[in-house]
Chains A and B, each alone.
Chain A
Amino acid sequence: MSQTPENFSANLAWRHRQGWLFAAACRLATWASVVFLAIILLVIIAQAWPRLTLGFLTRFDSYKPESAGMLAGILGSFWLIGFTAAICVPIGIGAAIYLEEYARSNWVTRFIQLNISNLAGVPSIVFGILGFTAFVRMFGLPRNTIVLTLGFADVRIPLPFGRSVIAGALTLALLCLPVVIIASQEALRSVPASLRHAALALGATKWQTISRQVLPAAMPGILTGVILALSRALGETAPLAVLGAAFFITFAPGRINSATDLGQHPDRLLQVPFDQFTAMPLQIYNWVNEQSRDFQQQVSAAGIVVLLVILVLMNGSAILIRQHFQRKIRW
């Protein structure tokens, strides 16, 4: 009854071997990335070792390799990424909710969608040029300083923003937005329709359904997108260099150089977004360009280690938050 076709050979051993080969190739691919990462890390940490001291974290930069430090970059990046997140996360998630939950599919939304996907692939330096025109110079607006008198402190807001933290954060927020929007849309789309139907059937309004069921269920996916986007922003050099951010600077944004400064003058927090800054990747870039080999090898390697550790800490805490949200979902 069951007839073997003439051209069929039941070479079972070979087919098993094929499967085994494929699995081995996949295993190799996995280990290759791990091994490369380990080699890079080992080399960099070995180079950086003599410079990895507490002083490196608490000093400002110097032209002498032995007294160079990263404080300005660490604090600059901290504020920069903080403001970037504050700007791009609400806008990004909001846009994604609108596009997924409210907007009808017509040529306008399809056009917007196309543009968002394209923006995600635009090189970062282009965002830098855009940010320079739109935020640093504000299309050549004459310069003013608006002084807000708030009883306990004065806030000086330069207009246009100049090379300030807020101009950098707005630029990086533009850079992050497409990634955040696309990832949030994916996350919202993957929430099962039955969840929405159930909520609506129980009499929940659309807003209640979105805010209490869909959004919490999509949160882990959204947070993944946010983490990826902010990690990318933390490492960006080109757009900040185009903005004209400082490389060597003797103060941190808001002149808050230490916890003591913050304790004594908490009002300076209000000045932070409008102050000049430098960032960690800019400092590393600058050190790599230095003439002296101490800078090129040891100091820049130490800078890279610090940047990596901060990235890992940032991602780690974000993963913890994600797990917190994930545990809430049970279906």
Chain B
Amino acid sequence: MKLSKRNSSTTLLSSVLTLSTLALLVLTVPMGCKVESESKPGTTATDGAGSPAAAGGPVEAITVNGSSTVYPISQAVAEAYKERNPGIEISVGLAGTGGGFEKFALGDLDICDASRPIRDSEKEACAKAGVEYLELEVAIDALTVVVNPANDWAPCLSVSQLKKIWGPGSQVTKWNEIDPNWPDHKIELFGADTASGTFDYFTEVIVGKAKQSRTDYTQNSNDNVLVQGVADEKYSLGYFGYGYYAENPDRLKAVAIKATDDAECVLPSAETVDNNTYIPLSRPLYIYVNKKSLQRKAVAGYVQFYLSDAGQKLVTERKFLLMKALVLADMQAKLAEALK
């Protein structure tokens, strides 16, 4: 055995030690240090204003988070807005509607995306923390019930039939239990996972009570898995947001919906949503804007852009549906009022 001499690894070690001690010293002996409490309107802790000295004034940052359904729109609007205003930095997250409101009530966010209206408990949390907000509708999502393209027996389902299939403890397992003329074959069910706003909404309008559903179906938070499942399985039935259907019209078939047993069958489309006939599965999507943040030019500009023609064009580009012209005008007026 031959002991190595005091080699370079030892020197490396000691130099690393010295360096880290030096770094610590630099950090602990700052030349000046002041604490700035968060009183400036809406600047969030993580806005991290870059280095104002170098950039010549603080960089404007906008923080958006919330529903994963609304995310594609907010992201596209952010990108287009950034193109027009290169100096503004935007981050968009998808913590889910509930997770978004939690952060929103803490004053962490400028804007919260939501696929359902704010709940009473969330309102209280905001009020308690002194967070005032502006609620704006930005688009419509039509939940779409889909089957395999090879399904030629069920072009239309009524709400009561859907309730029979999806209700909690449902005993329906075969297609011919809904209608005796339909195949004597097991229904393969695909649906949203229980944490999503889609699940909340679907169960509320179909079953009548939010979060009440049978549980023996394939759940996934990734809607693409559901698309794949329905596309691969002849006897399948599933539901998800309109966009996932619109992207895969060759692999999926939309089912027309009968609101009541004697109503007409209606397919989801821009028209049927606009003339209020695709009910009850179309739902508005919202953004909630912190009123303090709205006083900042960058945030106000982003929200205005969201409701402008260019912003609304992105809604259709991302395969969502436009709200009615009247509602849009209402929202624009509401925003103008708040900006006064």
Contact = CB atoms under 8 A, between A and B. Distances in A.
Interface string A263-283: 011011011001110100000
Interface in A80-116: 90
Given A288-B222, A291-B72, A145 B2 contact: no
B243 to A, nearest CB: 5
Nearest to A199: B3
Contacts of B90: 248-250
B37 A276 contact: no
Nearest to A194: B1
B208 interface: no
Given A246-B92, A276-B91, A255 B1 contact: no
Interface in A276-315: 276, 278, 286, 288-293, 296
B9 A325 contact: yes
A101 to B, nearest CB: 15
Given A268-B54, A289-B222, A291-B319, A148 B32 contact: yes
Interface stretch (B45-53, B181-189, B279-287): B45-53
B7 A328 contact: yes
Interface stretch (B73-81, B131-139, B261-269): B73-81
B4 A330 contact: yes
A149 B31 contact: yes
Interface string B68-107: 1001100110110010000011111111000100010011
B9 A251 contact: no
Contacts of A155: 51
B65 interface: yes
Contacts of A161: 45-46
B89 to A, nearest CB: 5
A219 interface: yes
B305 to A, nearest CB: 14
A95 to B, nearest CB: 16
B13 A215 contact: yes
A147 B65 CA distance: 26
A160 B44 CA distance: 11
A247 interface: yes
Nearest to A151: B31
B326 interface: no
A25 B211 CA distance: 51
B48 A156 contact: yes
B7 A289 contact: no
Contact of A271 (B31, B38, B51): B51
Nearest to B20: A90
A148 B33 contact: yes
Contact of A150 (B10, B31, B71, B72): B31
Contact of B93 (A246, A264, A331): A246
B1 A245 contact: no
Interface in B54-70: 54-55, 59, 63, 65, 68
Interface string B105-145: 01110000000000000000000000000000000000000
Interface in B146-185: none
Contacts of B248: 293
Question: Is the interface on chain B under 10, 10 to 19, 20 to 34, or 35 or more residues?
Answer: 35 or more
B79 to A, nearest CB: 6
Interface residues of A, number: 69
A276 B89 CA distance: 11
B34 interface: yes
Interface string A125-162: 00000000000010000111111111101111011111
A221 to B, nearest CB: 14
B51 A268 contact: yes
A290 to B, nearest CB: 8
A235 interface: no
B86 to A, nearest CB: 9
Given A63-B75, A158-B48, A248 B91 contact: yes
B46 A162 contact: yes
A258 interface: no
A154 B53 contact: yes
B244 interface: yes
B224 A331 contact: no
B48 A164 contact: yes
Given A156-B49, A216-B7, A292-B247, A244 B99 contact: yes
B48 A248 contact: no
A163 B247 CA distance: 33
Contacts of A164: 46, 48
Given A247-B94, A271-B48, A146 B35 contact: yes
A99 B55 CA distance: 48
A62 interface: yes
A329 B4 contact: yes
Given A148-B33, A154-B51, A291 B244 contact: yes
A224 interface: no
Given A161-B46, A199-B3, A328-B4, 20 more contacts: A63-B317, A143-B107, A153-B53, A154-B51, A154-B53, A156-B48, A158-B46, A162-B45, A247-B75, A247-B92, A255-B50, A255-B55, A264-B54, A274-B46, A288-B224, A289-B68, A291-B224, A291-B244, A291-B318, A293-B247
What 8 pairs between A and B have smallest CB-CB spacing? A162-B46, A158-B45, A149-B32, A246-B91, A331-B1, A63-B76, A248-B92, A162-B45
